Amino acid sequence: MAQLSITLCRQLARARREKGMTQSALALAVGCKQSAISMLESGQPEKLSQEAVGKIAALLEVPLESPSSPSSVLCPPSSGSFPSHSFCPSASCASNVPYAVAGELLFWPRPQPASAGGKHCAYCGEVLERQCPHCGATATAGACCPACGGAKVTNTLPAEIDGEAWAAQRRREIAEWKSLVT
């Protein structure tokens, strides 16, 4: 379980609001309960694992006490402990949650429901990928390939898009969309 100073908890809460992200959107991206985010922000991070807190900090671009950069958490080095993970290769698909990290857009693919048959994206119908498009390594959870560090989902958006604003808007849409279907 995670140990964080109250100052850091407040910082995370402020960074989330500044990014225009709801607690549920953040919870969705990290894969935890919204109540856990709420408790974290009130200074009780105990419900969250250290790994989840690391992801939250990376997504909100708040440095933790440990010197890990946002992209090193979004793209964790290979540990072999992650199960393989199919993902939708379409940057415009709602299954891929975008984050702007250091001016670059990264897409965090959400797990595909196993009931979808495992071949096609349950959200947009695209054929799912299971391998890194750059080096062919088996894809794991997270935005990047554990073997080569390349982004799993290629950013195919027009270059003139303001990545940060687009990603924030997109995350709001995804959160709203999810609240409609669940």
- Interface with Zn ion (CB under 5 A): 88, 90, 93, 95, 121, 123-124, 126, 132, 134-135, 137, 145, 147-148, 150
CA distance 40 to 162: 30
The distance of closest approach from Cβ of residue 2 to Zn ion in the complex, given in angstroms and rounded to an integer, is 29
Q: ∠ CA 169-108-159 to the nearest 5 degrees?
A: 55
The distance of closest approach from Cβ of residue 93 to Zn ion in the complex, given in angstroms and rounded to an integer, is 3
Whether the CB-CB separation of 50 and 1 falls below 8 Å is answered with yes
- Cβ contacts of 116-124, under 8 Å, gap ≥ 24: 118/86, 121/88, 121/90, 121/93, 121/95, 122/95, 123/88, 123/93, 123/94, 123/95, 124/88, 124/90, 124/92, 124/93, 124/94, 124/95
Q: Which two tokens stand for residue 109?
A: 């693919």
The distance of closest approach from Cβ of residue 46 to Zn ion in the complex, given in angstroms and rounded to an integer, is 35
- Of 61 and 126, nearer to Zn ion (C-beta) is 126
The distance of closest approach from Cβ of residue 120 to Zn ion in the complex, given in angstroms and rounded to an integer, is 8
Q: Which two tokens stand for residue 103?
A: 């001016």
CA distance 164 to 141: 22
- Of 97 and 121, nearer to Zn ion (C-beta) is 121
- Of 33 and 134, nearer to Zn ion (C-beta) is 134
CA distance 46 to 114: 30
- Of 23 and 90, nearer to Zn ion (C-beta) is 90
- Of 15 and 141, nearer to Zn ion (C-beta) is 141
The distance of closest approach from Cβ of residue 123 to Zn ion in the complex, given in angstroms and rounded to an integer, is 4
